[in-house]
Amino acid sequence: MLIVLNDNEMSISENVGALNKYFKELQIRKWVQDAEKLGKNILERISPQLFGLVDRAKEAAKLLLHQENPFYAWGIRYVGPVDGHDLKGLVHILEHLKALDGPTLLHVVTKKGKGYKVAEADPIYWHGPPGFDPKKPEKVSKGYSWSQAFGDAVTELAHLEPRLFVLTPAMREGSGLVRYSLEHPERYLDVGICEDVAVTTAAGLALRGMKPIVAIYSTFLQRAYDQVIHDVAIENLPVVFAIDRAGIVGADGATHHGVFDIAYLRTVPNLQIAAPKDALELRAMLKKALEVGGPVAIRYPRDNLERAPEASGRRSLGVGGRC
């Protein structure tokens, strides 16, 4: 099996986590530098022509040098990092890797949006933009969304509740959490594309006395169904699930339709489900959910809405709501 890791340092938002940091430091690690030197010597002796064509020798040495190499410990041959935009060199390497036995990981380094200047400058927005004129690309104002309403609400609630803690599985922008992450960085955690980790971490925070909110798309919450039951609901922990993109999502596509969450969450013990009608009620429901003492799921659609009226003061935020 050949695993190609396309490393452009981005998911939808920026990458996070230990493995991402490891890749960023890879070039300065001793085993990579030793591998490069040994590989150059091997290829120059075997085939000067091959060495001159690819000008890359790490792949030969990775078969011989394993010190500090975590992939070897996992039973995977590591090759790279290589330039993913050098098509001639990349095809040459892939042709040779096909003949190798066992699992191999090819680490390919690329730039997200490469070749399209607006996408290179803003890879987050242009990851999945709405329709636009490629000759005159411009950002389109999408209006005030439920995601933004959620982000504004938790940002303000965090000033009232010092135990509030928000987690997201790599969806800071999509879930409207940019402002929150800037104003409350000490109570914000992006776990990467690991929905189950987000839920289990929230359970741990709840056990430590925090008030965690897991901001997650409906379709992605399915990946953490086991953790919702075993780590949160059975323990009756005060974890709030802010379920974005509930229902039909239109342009997001078939894989993102949030049409199952009501059916499967209704079977979960101790869990209350709520659906606000507007931004004011969303804010009130979030405030109430932080007070009820058990798991609560608040679901809202992919759509625009009117902004909630400004609270007269932070202490009056979130007028009475129902859960």
Cα–Cα nearest to 58, from 77, 85, 76, 75: 77
- Catalytic machinery residues: 112, 195, 223
The full 3-state SS of 248-279, as one line of letters, equals CCHHHCHHHCECCHHHHHCCCCCCEEECCCCH
Nearest to 249 by CA among 220, 270, 227: 220
Alpha carbon distances (Å) from 116 to 22, 56, 130, 137: 28, 27, 16, 10
Angstrom distance (rounded) from CA 25 to CA 95: 28
